[in-house]
Amino acid sequence: MKTAGKILGLLLLAALVGGGVMYVLFFAPNVKTESALITVPPGTSAEETVSLLSPHLVRPATYARAVRIKKFSPEPGKYRIRRGMSNNQIINMLRAGWQTEITLTFNNISSLEELAGKVASRIIADSTELIRAFRDPAFLDSTGFTRENALLMYLPNTYRLYYTTTADEFRQRMWKEYNRYWNKERREAARRLGLTPVEAGILASIVKKETLRPEEKPVIAGVYLNRLKRGMKLEADPTAVYAYKRATGDTSVIRRVLHKHIEIDDPYNTYRYYGLPPGPVSMPDLSDIEAVLHPARHDYLYFVADPARPGYHLFASTYAQHLRNARRYRRYLDTRGIKR
């Protein structure tokens, strides 16, 4: 009986020890970092996750052993680990692909190439795949965009999405967001002004380049809408600068618009061509679009930078008044030696 008791005791001890080992391996809290976002690239093996996670673990060796026992294939993605998580919780998360959403913010973008680079830094798709998706002729044809105005479909904002988002999935998400923004009310507001949503976006891109002052945006939008209604050329400096840089490859900062800029023969130059340019000269902010859809009502047809109030403008209803304002601004530039 004593021998049987000893055997039973040994068995119980072994069970306790084994249970303790299993607890430490799989169920004991093992994350020491308060919170960390881990990136698991495509093709990462379970063993490779050990080096990714080790800096955040109390007992890295137990995680490595648990990985060998579980024999799982991690899904690519970005994962949030938190203090107190066990090896089993981590492995289940990686195996099931329970990703954490990431945020993507973009604005002040000048081209589809720049946008692709920005987006590629946050999701799995690379910039080449994104550009191909952005310029896909079938997609552009189905949505009514062109290569020249396709940038307008990507509304600047902060979006939540997954690291594993593909180029096509990102493009479809942005198309959905575009249609959500351009609801019935906004489309009707544009129609009342004689504009399509794309035309409103192009005009908004010019307004964006003209001023950083929120209170001036509706006023400047009103000027350009007045000129369009009268059949006048827009003669917008941002379009001349954009056209000049497009034609010459000049990347310098242009602080003074000269004759060589406004005389450039390019369809984006509204000093030479009537109507709106074929595409945006920048990525307009939502506030720029709203300024176009809700312009200030006035009879202004001209404006020029105000030398007395940097960042603001002097508005005029007559050309004679505008010439006086323009002379003041030219003198301001001359006294400060601003030649280009």
Given a cut of 90, whether residue 11 has pLDDT beyond it is: no
Separation between Cα atoms, residue 243 and residue 131, nearest integer Å: 22
Separation between Cα atoms, residue 328 and residue 334, nearest integer Å: 10
Separation between Cα atoms, residue 238 and residue 243, nearest integer Å: 8
Structure confidence by residue, pLDDT tens digits, 138-187: 999 999 999 999 999 999 999 999 999 999 999 999 999 999 999 999 99
Given a cut of 60, whether residue 278 has pLDDT beyond it is: yes
pLDDT at 2: 55
Structure confidence by residue, pLDDT tens digits, 26-81: 889 999 999 999 999 999 999 999 999 999 999 999 999 999 998 899 999 999 99
Given a cut of 90, whether residue 333 has pLDDT beyond it is: no
Kindly state the helix (H) or strand (E) to which residue 266 belongs, with its residue range.
none
pLDDT at 258: 87
Given a cut of 60, whether residue 15 has pLDDT beyond it is: no
- Torsions phi, psi for 314 (to 5 deg): -100, 130
Given a cut of 50, whether residue 101 has pLDDT beyond it is: yes
Q: Which two tokens stand for residue 13?
A: 């001890």
Separation between Cα atoms, residue 212 and residue 316, nearest integer Å: 20
Q: Which two tokens stand for residue 64?
A: 């490595």
Given a cut of 60, whether residue 17 has pLDDT beyond it is: no
Structure confidence by residue, pLDDT tens digits, 182-201: 999 999 999 999 999 999 99
User: Contact, 77 vs 164, CB < 8 A?
Assistant: yes
Number of H helices, E strands in the chain: 15, 6
pLDDT > 90 in the chain, percent: 84
Tokens 């303790």 correspond to: 20
| Averaged pLDDT score across all residues of the chain | 92
Residue 255 CA to chain centroid, in angstroms? 27
pLDDT at 7: 47
Q: Which two tokens stand for residue 39?
A: 């990136």
pLDDT > 70 in the chain, percent: 94
Give 3's pLDDT tier (boundaries 50, 70, 90): low
DSSP-derived letter for residue 294 is S
Taking phi first (over 0 means left), then psi (-120 to 50 degrees means alpha), and beta for anything else, what does residue 75 get? Answer: beta
Tokens 């575009």 correspond to: 178
Given a cut of 70, whether residue 14 has pLDDT beyond it is: no
pLDDT at 13: 36
Structural domains in the chain plus CATH codes: 26-96 (3.30.1490), 102-181 (no CATH), 195-335 (no CATH)
Q: CB neighbours (10 Å) of residue 330? A: 14
CA distances from 164 to 42, 46, 150 (A): 9, 18, 24
Given a cut of 50, whether residue 230 has pLDDT beyond it is: yes
Give 337's pLDDT tier (boundaries 50, 70, 90): confident
Q: CB neighbours (10 Å) of residue 234? A: 22
Tokens 């024999």 correspond to: 71
Rounded to two decimals, the pTM is: 0.89
